[in-house]
Structure 1
Amino acid sequence: MDVDFVCACAARPAGRLTRRDVARALLAVPSGVALVALPDLRRALVAAGNPLSRAFWDSAKATLGSIESGVATVGDVQRWVESTGTEPILMTPGYFVWPEEDERGPVTAEMFARLVAYLEERVEAGEVDPDALAEGDPEARAAYEELQERWLTTPLPDGRVPGEAVNDEQNEELFAAWDEEEAFALSELRRILGGLPRRPELPAAELDAAGARLRVLLAGSGYPANVLRACAGLDDRPVPADDRELWLAVAAGVAGPISDLPEAGDEPEAFADLDGRLSEEDAALANLCAIEHADWLAAVTALARLGPGVLASPERMARLIAESEDIDNDDQSAGDLGATESFFSTVVHLWSLLGIVDATGVLTPLGWWGLPQALERAWSPSPE
């Protein structure tokens, strides 16, 4: 490692290298190699008219020594790079978090580079003191953090707010990944169901009875009526007149909740737990939203294969998922099994209200007929 290596990494001549450039290059090689290279690198930068500072070189030696001896944490190293004065803080006091470098989209990469350039300008103007940061001055650190918080929330000349632009891109990427996962799960569901020897016919009498019970339940207040309405998106649209449509909408909503609970105060039964515990309805929705596509796929296809009369208790569902050959379970642990059982305790309770399982947790003919259709509906794109 030498000054040419640092220049190549930073794409700058030696005379324009920043502390951040040097720190990142030092971390790009084994710590022992970097420690050996420090004296020659320092002399080369002095010769180039860019000596940096003693505080920086001392901090570099200390940090690399800690890495080499195995006592430095990831946080220690990150804070050292941030102390160069031009490295954006990974997580600001306002809880803005920059994605890892290899996970940044084009907008995030642009905003990160803009902030680095902005910080370089502030260092040149004397508004950021890298030596004070390297020496751990708390006031310098607080000012450095506040400067970045302000930049992240200040509109650029083109009107974009950096922090919002980054978050928007991350959300778009998250939604795109979710849609891709859902589309794959839907294709697998259809493939598996298509390979079954027979599919059940609609048990009309059971559906009529379940529809009548469901309409009475949805007209009530509190849990579980409010959760079922939220799952099916019925708080802001009329209840379907057709029993089949209503039942499938609610059953699909259990597998893919459409909306959240109304804000506190929107319903007479809304309340806040002063101890900070989740209400029963919030806990139920959290459990439903925590279940992954793969687990739903394994659970419903297993029941579709086994047919009515099979036990579908939370414990049994967790075991069916763990033993499924339709999904990858290689990394599943005993803790995962317990979590799955906990999540499906909510599911099985709601299934019992829909007549999917009976009072003893056994799959009914209605559940055998309707669960696959409900899951397919939950994962199918909404009509425009």
Structure 2
Amino acid sequence: MDFVCAHAGRPATAITRRDMARALLAVPSGVALVALPDLRRAMMSAGNPLSLAFWDSAKATLSSIESGVATVGDVQRWIESTGTEPILMTPSYFVWPEEDERGPVAAEMFARLVAYLEERVEAGEIDPDALAAGDRDARGAYEDLQERWLGTPLPDGRVPGFAVSDEQDEELFAAWDEEEAFALSELRRIVAGLPKQPELPAAELEAAAVRLRELLALPGYPANVLRACAGFEERPIPDDDRELWLTVVAGVAGPVSDLSENGGVLEEFADLDGELSMEDAALANLCAIQHADWLAGVAALARLGPGVLASPERMARFIAESEDIDIDDQDDDDLDATEGLFFSVVSLWGYLGIVDEDEVLTPLGWWGLPKALERAWSAPAD
């Protein structure tokens, strides 16, 4: 009982079902099972007996854990059935961060919701015993109650659900910026160390720019993907050939926008049984490639120079064998996945003159890929 009180930070008279459940899960399931009878008697002596339904559910859940048949979802559902544990993922797909990953705002809002739910249990608006019994109506009401709370402004004006999401976005963007800055510094180091610096193939660039301007004026793939990558749906196409070409190549490494002309993109992604269009699949692949993979692949091409094969399979090999990035040993599935992502990349590179019809790196690609990647990873002020 002393452990439960210390774990919850409350006296025995104030221990909730959630407090007890979390304390029981904080020790080996066998230890918790042995302790159940004594804990139940101690809670009765403290005048806070909880309920028979709770103790039965605790025994059933701990026994399932001990026998190895309980899933993570089973355990999560049991904690939520205590009546004061926020639902990990609500019906509207709001997801609480894991406990050790919550920022100050998420931790605050989670604690506020726990306190709110405790008030509702005390007021009789939540029936933990019905939740423990798996009552669907009780579960639905429990979910609705939390959905409303997450969308209702607090006295200070903050909306809990939005506040948590905004904090997660800020953390994600900060981590992304840090990773991008490191990749940029490594790229510059690698390019500066090349034994021979690539020279601008002016004639190739001019010819590629002419083809690109003609291509961008066309409907459908690949023009719509290249326009989205470069952000040309929102701004005019540059008159300068070099600026145009580098902007589009940089966009392939860091797409600026999505396909604005396709109003059903979100619906297509939400349809798990449907197939993505070529455009959506290409953009999804581009966005899925990590900074480290771009760095490893382009660094290998920069070192080897024009004439090297830059096929999707070869790019996957370059990345897997790179000494420029930290990477675990990859199996065939990992290589296939990377190859699949770079299938879209190499296909677009072909339209830009980075690789020829045999997927071999051209002098234009050797000169421009590092510059375009540097542009994609640089802040606008740079």
What is the match of residue 13 of structure 2?
15
The number of equivalent residue pairs is 378
2:186 maps to 1:178: no
Given candidates 13, 27, 33, the residue that maps to 1:35 is: 33
Given candidates 333, 346, 349, the residue that maps to 1:348 is: 346
What is the 5 A alignment of 1:205-244? 205-244=203-242
Structure 1: tracts of 5 or more residues without a match: none
Q: Distance in 1 between matches of 2:286 and 2:216?
A: 18
Q: Percent identity?
A: 80
Q: CA deviation at 1:233?
A: 0.9
Larger mean CA deviation between 152-161 and 109-118 belongs to: 152-161
Q: CA deviation at 1:89?
A: 0.8
What is the 5 A alignment of 1:60-75? 60-75=58-73
Q: Distance in 2 between matches of 1:355 and 1:329?
A: 30
Q: Relative to 1, partners in 2 of residues 1:144 and 1:298: Cα closer, same or farther, differing over 3 Å?
A: same
Alpha-carbon displacement from aligned partner over 1:341-375 (angstroms, at most 9, x marks no partner)? 11111111111111111111111111110100000
Per the alignment, in what secondary structure is the counterpart of residue 136 of structure 1?
coil
Q: CA deviation at 1:188?
A: 1.1
Q: Relative to 1, partners in 2 of residues 1:265 and 1:85: Cα closer, same or farther, differing over 3 Å?
A: closer
Q: Relative to 1, partners in 2 of residues 1:113 and 1:265: Cα closer, same or farther, differing over 3 Å?
A: closer
What is the match of residue 78 of structure 1?
76
What is the match of residue 247 of structure 2?
249
What is the match of residue 318 of structure 2?
320
Q: Relative to 1, partners in 2 of residues 1:109 and 1:263: Cα closer, same or farther, differing over 3 Å?
A: farther
After TM superposition, what 4+ stretches of structure 1 lie above 4 angstroms from structure 2?
271-275
2:212 maps to 1:204: no
Alpha-carbon displacement from aligned partner over 1:287-324 (angstroms, at most 9, x marks no partner)? 11111111111110000000001111111111111111
Q: Distance in 1 between matches of 2:137 and 2:91?
A: 14
Q: Distance in 2 between matches of 1:62 and 1:80?
A: 10
Larger mean CA deviation between 111-120 and 338-347 belongs to: 338-347
Q: Distance in 2 between matches of 1:136 and 1:272?
A: 34
Q: Distance in 1 between matches of 2:358 and 2:194?
A: 26
What is the match of residue 357 of structure 2?
359
What is the 5 A alignment of 1:244-323? 244-264=242-262, 276-323=274-321
Q: CA deviation at 1:265?
A: 5.6
What is the match of residue 48 of structure 1?
46
What is the match of residue 133 of structure 2?
135
What is the match of residue 118 of structure 1?
116
Q: Relative to 1, partners in 2 of residues 1:86 and 1:277: Cα closer, same or farther, differing over 3 Å?
A: same
Q: CA deviation at 1:138?
A: 1.6
What is the match of residue 55 of structure 2?
57
Q: Relative to 1, partners in 2 of residues 1:272 and 1:139: Cα closer, same or farther, differing over 3 Å?
A: closer
Q: Distance in 2 between matches of 1:265 and 1:295?
A: 31
Q: Distance in 2 between matches of 1:152 and 1:202?
A: 56
Q: CA deviation at 1:191?
A: 1.5
Q: CA deviation at 1:332?
A: 2.1
The residue identity in structure 1 corresponding to 2:298 is V
Alpha-carbon displacement from aligned partner over 1:241-270 (angstroms, at most 9, x marks no partner)? 11111111111011111111114369xxxx
Per the alignment, in what secondary structure is the counterpart of residue 316 of structure 1?
helix
Given candidates 75, 88, 91, the residue that maps to 2:89 is: 91
Q: What CA RMSD, in Å, does the superposition of the two structures yield over aligned residues?
A: 1.7
Q: Distance in 1 between matches of 2:87 and 2:331?
A: 35
Q: Distance in 2 between matches of 1:37 and 1:317?
A: 57
Q: Distance in 2 between matches of 1:169 and 1:157?
A: 19
What is the match of residue 148 of structure 2?
150
The residue identity in structure 2 corresponding to 1:315 is E
Q: Distance in 1 between matches of 2:279 and 2:71?
A: 40
2:378 maps to 1:380: yes
The residue identity in structure 2 corresponding to 1:303 is L
What is the 5 A alignment of 1:185-200? 185-200=183-198
Q: CA deviation at 1:276?
A: 2.8
Q: Distance in 1 between matches of 2:263 and 2:111?
A: 44
In the superposition, the TM-score normalised over structure 2's length comes to 0.96
Q: Distance in 1 between matches of 2:68 and 2:350?
A: 55
The residue identity in structure 1 corresponding to 2:322 is S
The residue identity in structure 1 corresponding to 2:101 is E
Q: CA deviation at 1:328?
A: 2.2
Given candidates 22, 27, 52, the residue that maps to 1:24 is: 22
